[in-house]
Amino acid sequence: MKSKFDLSQFEKIEDIIFIDEPILSHLKLDEIDYLFYLVETTDSSDIFLLLQVEAQDIFRYITGRESLKNIISNNKKIIIVIEQNFNGEILENYFSTAKHLDSDYFPQEDSFINLQPSVNSYYYNMIKKYESQYYLETLRKNAFYLKFESKNKKYGEILGLKEIADNFLEKMSKSFTNYVKIDFKKQFSDHLIDKSILNSTINKLVSDLDFRMVDLKFGSFEIGLAVDEIMKNSIEDKKIQDWAKKVAYNYKEIVLDENITKEETQEIINNFTEDERIKIFKPIIEIAENPNFELKIKNDKEQKYSSIGLKDKKVAKEILARQDLLKVQKEQDLGLVQFTAIIDKNDNKKFIKIEDTLFNQVQAAFYTLTFNDFEKYNLRGVSKDIKVELVLQQINNKIALKSTFDQRDFNVLLNDDKIEDGIKKMTETIYEYYTNNSR
């Protein structure tokens, strides 16, 4: 039966697979995409399938995301089977569906390709265009949503730019950045012993760890936030890479939780110091407690919004609770912090903390005990040349004083921040040894 099917009406875009002749061609008609697939060659004719596809299907196939087998077998539209002689004349065509096709017309299950198109190829730009869309869609699937609403009816609940920036975005960003730095230090202070490396590593990572804004709605400000796991693969250290993929989700689960139970509150208090809790939770609590605004969260686009758990005043108060330092002599977490002294011509001194981060700590500081120190504590009779090097070190959040005198080690551990008392005790201990051994 002669067919009147006319292939010449289709525009040929490119051959996707070519082996001595076109095997799989991309055609277009009225802006609709088709694949023209040579499935069989007999002694006198070729059999083709003509199937309508989405441009996305072609993108996914040529980038190795989908097999040709699935593109054909999942096709829900009519497939035209065309028989053409070796002169290019169509002998016959009939309609079919994927379900009814000869199973040998399909390629193998693992019929994936990774096309490397030339710059002139149609697919060169197509891949670029769809890569960025694909990236966004992947992120959106896993996004959670925050809604920041104004309670002020003056502008019909529509927020201003400064309102959003000052009352929401800045505080969210501060809380999240602090969480990331604190958690990184907790996880990796043993893995990266050198504090300067610890510091520089987290500072480099911070921008890569940020949530990606994948959805946006104006008016009452709603944003969809997602974690970009794909980009994290560029982090070389495997342990840090694994941590980086989870840290933002952990932040959301702990800090932006819709309902913080009593047990979870206690866990927060156990896992974070008071200072850490202030840095992480206080900015969000300030957002939640602001009477002019409302902050809500939902775990995906389809759900309904709920308030965040930190809006509960009782929970917020417990998390930020300050202890009365005068009543209880509690153990302090101490650290050594580096300051730089700037001295001008008039010998005016000014001390400046190097940078306002969590990681400006130093491992050790040094002090030399001399004759004058002994005199100061009324410890008389030592040699005027005496010099004893004291090392102040941070060990497990306490300060230890160490020295070596006459080949003997002396140690004093401070339970508080009274360095002067520690130095006095060290001086007295060395003096006792000195006087006992000089007799």
Partner 1 sequence: MKLLNSDNFNHISDCPINSEKGEKKLFRCIIKEDIQNSFIPLAFEKAKYKDNCQAWGLSLFKSKEIAMQKLKSLSKKKTMNGLAFAFITDSNGIKHQSGSDLNHYTFYPSENFICTTEFKIVEDEK
User: Which residues of the chain form contacts with partner 1 (CB under 8 A)?
Assistant: 14-15, 17-21, 23-24, 37-41, 46-47, 68, 86-88, 102-108, 110-118, 120-123
Q: Give the C-alpha distances (Å, rounded to integers) separating 202 from 31, 186, 241, 334, 392.
A: 49, 12, 12, 22, 26
Q: What tokens appear for 171 in the block? A: 């505080």
Q: Which is nearer to partner 1, 112 or 251 (CB)?
A: 112
Q: Which is nearer to partner 1, 56 or 111 (CB)?
A: 111
Non-local CB neighbours of 169 within 8 Å, separated by 6+ positions: none
**Nearest distance from residue 60's CB to partner 1, in Å?**
14
Q: Which is nearer to partner 1, 117 or 135 (CB)?
A: 117
Q: Which is nearer to partner 1, 121 or 307 (CB)?
A: 121
Asked if residues 310 and 281 have their Cβ atoms less than 8 Å apart, the reply is yes
Q: What tokens appear for 300 in the block? A: 């995906």
**Nearest distance from residue 3's CB to partner 1, in Å?**
17
Helix (H) or strand (E) holding 403: strand 398-405
Q: Which is nearer to partner 1, 45 or 403 (CB)?
A: 45
Report the C-alpha gap between 71 and 80 in whole angstroms.
15
Selection from 133, 113, 115, 111 nearest residue 124 by Cα: 115
Helix (H) or strand (E) holding 374: helix 371-376
Q: Which is nearer to partner 1, 79 or 198 (CB)?
A: 79
Query: DSSP characters for 152-170?
Result: -GGGTTPPPHHHHIIIIIH
First-residue to last-residue Cα distance in the chain: 126
Report the C-alpha gap between 266 and 274 in whole angstroms.
12
**Nearest distance from residue 111's CB to partner 1, in Å?**
4
Query: DSSP characters for 303-358?
Result: SPPEE-GGGSHHHHHHHHPPP-TTT--PPPP---B-EEEEE-TT--EEEEES-SST
Report the C-alpha gap between 222 and 311 in whole angstroms.
18
Selection from 240, 160, 136, 227 nearest residue 197 by Cα: 240
Q: Which is nearer to partner 1, 84 or 199 (CB)?
A: 84
Q: Which is nearer to partner 1, 122 or 305 (CB)?
A: 122
Q: Give the C-alpha distances (Å, rounded to integers) separating 203 from 88, 169, 379.
A: 65, 20, 48
**Nearest distance from residue 139's CB to partner 1, in Å?**
29
Q: Which is nearer to partner 1, 90 or 336 (CB)?
A: 90
Asked if residues 379 and 427 have their Cβ atoms less than 8 Å apart, the reply is yes
